[in-house]
Structure 1
Amino acid sequence: MKKTRPNNIERLLRFPITWMLVGAAAIILVQGLMLVLTERVEGVGSLLLTLLLSLAAILVYKLIMKSVAQRPIPELSGQHAGVEAVRGIITGAIFIAVSTLIIVLLGGYSFQWAVAADPVSILMTSIETALSAAIIEELVFRGLMLQAIQKLGGSWIALAITSLTFGAFHLGNPGATIWSAFAITLEAGVLLGAAFLWRRNLWFAMGLHFAWNALEAALGIPVSGLPSAGLFTVKANGAAWLTGGEFGLEGSIVTVILGLVIAIPMLIRAARKRP
């Protein structure tokens, strides 16, 4: 039986840039809905609503990939999803904990317990904010953008473009500078892209991204310049190249170097995996 050739509209929809843009627009709409609704709910209700809408964003991603791109979705396979997410969480937590410890040892940070802090409320808020950012941003940047560009120009070009875009995306944050955007490009864009290319699934990248943001927020360190009411009051001492200045940990040269130290072995393994 002869296969029917796709018509012009189908070819346009299957073109990587088309499904990348359609998918990104749909997921950003879900994110907008999330922001509006969670502002009206507090506590556990807000966390549950964030989780529900994050799952909705994943379903939207799958729908776009199946109906528009008409391609399989191995990057969101349910097989080993939990294991991959936990691996990512452990990797992200170690990355942030070691970066913070090095800066403390170099005299860049000092921590004091925030007496008025409500640990339960702080942890819930940290988890909620980190969860939505990790899922939405990984679906858009690594799921849609990286894979679309990879299909057109290969892995290295896709990694470079998505990393630069991810850095530029954070230029509007409080305390952002050209240096902080470059730092995000290297430590986050490259690391998260390497995580995806190595593990070939979004669960690992989401877990890494989640633990990164959640731990920073829980400690009271600004997350990409956004202030965090954490368990501690953090005082930055010394040069901005060490502490990250107003932008926080992600503007530190320590985090950039450590991020690359973790990313490079991932990229080597990803290259070896390539058929």
Structure 2
Amino acid sequence: MQGMKNSGAIRDWHSFWRFPIVWLIVGALGIVLADAVFRPLAERAEGMVSLIWTLIDGLVVVLIYKLTIRYLARRSVPELAKHRAGIETVMGMLIGTIFIVVSTFIIVAMGGYSLQWVTNVDTNAALISSIGAALGGAIVEELIFRGLLFQALHRWGGDWLALAVTSLFFGVAHLGNPGATLWSGFAIAVEAGVLLGAAYMWRRNLWFTIGLHFAWNALESLLGILVSGHAAAGLFTVKMKGAALLTGGNFGLEGSIVPVLISLLISVPMLIGVARNRDGHLSISRLE
């Protein structure tokens, strides 16, 4: 009788850790704490040493994510499969680059931005700084939002609920950034939350969304455009002219109506493809 009670207690304990809100919180806390340890080391270091610390940070938080999914959520981690990592990351970077280049070009053509090369810029320092900041942010945010949060919400209400809630949370998470407004929060929810969520639903691969997110932020930074309100020591100086709805104002490119519209042009075909292609709409539950 005692053995049956112990067996029941063990099952209850295992069920507790498999509950989505539990492994979501545990995994997110682990990632945030690890990032809080390693990111300051990257920020204080210089040159390639800074980039090395960023890569170590990325490896650690990816490991925490995998351990959380495998041993708490109790499933495999195909969304971070090694054999697709390279091609998925490059594909995501390509889409992120197109997104930022097209959005910036349109704003420049409409007279909102003028870009001038910084004559005394330290190109290597600017490249390392932009790559390091963009890479660290992309990995951590994607693991938490499109990884843990999206998948926990998927368990409760499916993909579309997960897409809506993660997009909303992503916008809210950026309201504390410099220059943020209610409009910029909405813009981020659409152009980042929906686009990155649609990208994950389409590819079912976090390397893809990490690549997209990374290229987006790195290119913005290299162009000298504010990244979600944060100044960047890029290769250009950007002068803004005109309404904040066009330029994004003190929040930067992401506060402009232009990338909001461009992101929808990219997101909608992805979402249509997910809805129409039953084979492409591979649910997480089928991967367990």
Q: TM-score, normalised by structure 2?
A: 0.92
Alignment partner of 1:138 out of 120, 139, 142: 142
Q: Does 1:46 align with 2:53?
A: no
Shift of 1:40: 3.1
CA contact (8 A) 2:202 2:270 kept: yes
Gapped regions of structure 2 (runs ≥ 5):
1-6, 283-288
Amino acid at match of 1:93: T
Structure 2 counterpart of 1:158: 162
**Deviation digits for residues 173-200 of structure 1, max 9, x if unmatched?**
0000000000000000000000001000
Q: Is the 8 A contact 2:111 2:241 kept in 1?
A: yes
Larger Cα Rg: Structure 1 or Structure 2? 2
Provide the C-alpha distance between the structure 2 equivalents of 1:248 and 1:181, rounded to a whole number of angstroms. 12
Percent identical pairs in the alignment equals 56
- 2:281 corresponds in structure 1 to 274
Match of 2:247 in 1: 243
What corresponds to 2:265 in structure 1? Answer: 261
- 1:197-235, CA deviations, whole angstroms, 9 ceiling, x for partnerless residues? 100010000000000000000000000000111101100
Q: 1:33 aligns with which of 16, 33, 37?
A: 37
- Normalising by structure 1, we get a TM-score of 0.97
Does residue 175 of structure 2 align to residue 168 of structure 1?
Answer: no
* Number of the residue aligned with 2:4: none
User: Among residues 56, 65, 77, which one is paired with 1:61 in the alignment?
Assistant: 65
Instruction: Number of aligned residue pairs: give it.
Output: 272
CA distance in 1, matches of 2:109, 2:73: 49
Q: Report if aligned partners of 2:200, 2:206 keep a CA contact under 8 Å in 1.
A: yes
Where structure 1 has 5 or more consecutive residues not aligned to the other structure, the ranges are none
SS in 2 for 1:185: helix
Give the structure 2 partner of residue 104 of structure 1. 108
Structure-1 separation of matches of 2:93 and 2:145: 19
Q: Give the AA of the match of 1:267.
A: L
Could you tell me which amino acid in structure 1 is paired with residue 82 of structure 2?
A: G
Q: 2:78 aligns with which of 58, 74, 80?
A: 74
Whole-angstrom distance in 2 between the partners of 1:109 and 1:228: 16
Q: Distance in 1 between matches of 2:229 and 2:176?
A: 9
